[in-house]
Amino acid sequence: MKISVTCNALSSGLQQVMNVVASRPLTPILGNVLLEADGGQLTMTTTNLDCSICCSIGAEITEAGKTTVNVRKFASIVKAFPCADVDLETLSPGRQLKVSGGGSIFRIVTADAADFPPLPTFDAAQTFSMDAADLRQMISCVSYAQSPDDHRQILKGIYFNFSEDRMTLVATDGRRLATICQEAHGPNGIFIVPSLTVEELEKLLADGTEVQLSFNARQVAFRVICKSTSGPSFAYIISKVVEGNYPNYKQVIPGSTDSRVRINRELFLAAIQRAALVASDINKSVKLTFGENILEISASSAEYGDARERLAVTNGHQQPVEIGFNPRYLVEPLRALKCDEIIFEFRDHLSAGVIRTDNNFLCVIMPLRRET
């Protein structure tokens, strides 16, 4: 292998793929990045066996080939390089990668590319495409509700459901549930994407224009076509899915509520954030008191004092209803949404509150017990 690439593109690509590599990999090869040069592209791949990421950047290729080097050390060297372009060349014999440019020369120990775990393949029939920004927005609307509990792996991820020409995403941690759907004409299927894969996927989608999604019974892949002219041209993430059956989330969604209130999203979000500043550090709580065309948001604690905010709302409740919530559970969905107005549904202080939008988003939030 003998190629020339720009330092910025190479460094950007390495940053995209290195996060899945464990700090203490099971075997040395799992701490390496696979470098493959062919067809005017340098493709970089890393894996931890559960999740793999690869991306491709443009390169001037004198001689095609492939090798592997320690990804963290290689990324550090490239980031520190003193020039805009870098030359990469495999040296044989010796199993070394020569990295040169601007008067600097490094020879890095390599490992045989044949020892690098191969990526799985997918049936083209189980693939469909969508706008990358749309998928990123859908994920951001539910990802905060994933469970952080390692003992509840089924809930530590996002549930994808493709059926009846719709794509539905769901996440829940047992205290709140978020779901969003949109039209999607593609193959039917269900799977759970692990939270760590979701985190990396959101980063890749930020620079994407289109995403091609493929899946089978055990794995899922997202191929992101990138818009950056100076970075990778595409990025590819492949992950094992979480095994097991996702809970029947539809049972959690209230069938009916007594009241529906329309609220300006940004004003509601800002008021909750201000009121929460005086909430107790131990038992954070804000109270929503719904009256006729008025919503009062309040919080208090012995340590800091109290705060009250009042917002005008439409279709308010004639008899005041007071409900306590963890402010974070309200802030996270409101922050993720982009709409101007949300619908808040409620029944009483013991029942779940529901945040809805006019475009197929819903978040169910369990209330806190009222202090007596």
CA distances from 68 to 42, 54, 103 (A): 12, 13, 24
Does residue 12 lie in a domain region?
yes
Q: What is the mean pLDDT of residues 125-130?
A: 80
Range of the domain at 336: 253-365
pLDDT at 211 over 80: yes
**Residue 142 and residue 165 in one domain:** yes
CATH number of the domain where residue 207 is located: 3.10.150.10
Does residue 312 lie in a domain region?
yes
pLDDT at 372 over 50: no
**Residue 82 and residue 171 in one domain:** no
How many degrees, rounded to 5, is the angle at CA 148 between CA 193 and CA 301? 140
**Residue 269 and residue 239 in one domain:** no
Last residue of a domain, one of 250, 278, 296: 250
pLDDT at 352 over 70: yes
Does residue 371 lie in a domain region?
no
Last residue of a domain, one of 84, 115, 146: 115
- What is the rounded average pLDDT for all residues in the chain? 91
**Residue 13 and residue 35 in one domain:** yes
**Residue 274 and residue 198 in one domain:** no
pLDDT at 277 over 60: yes
* Residue 125 confidence class, pLDDT cut points 50, 70, 90: low
- Please give the structure tokens belonging to residue 337: 């949404």
Single pTM value for the model = 0.91
Last residue of a domain, one of 220, 250, 280: 250
**Residue 130 and residue 224 in one domain:** yes
Q: How many domains are contained in the chain?
A: 3
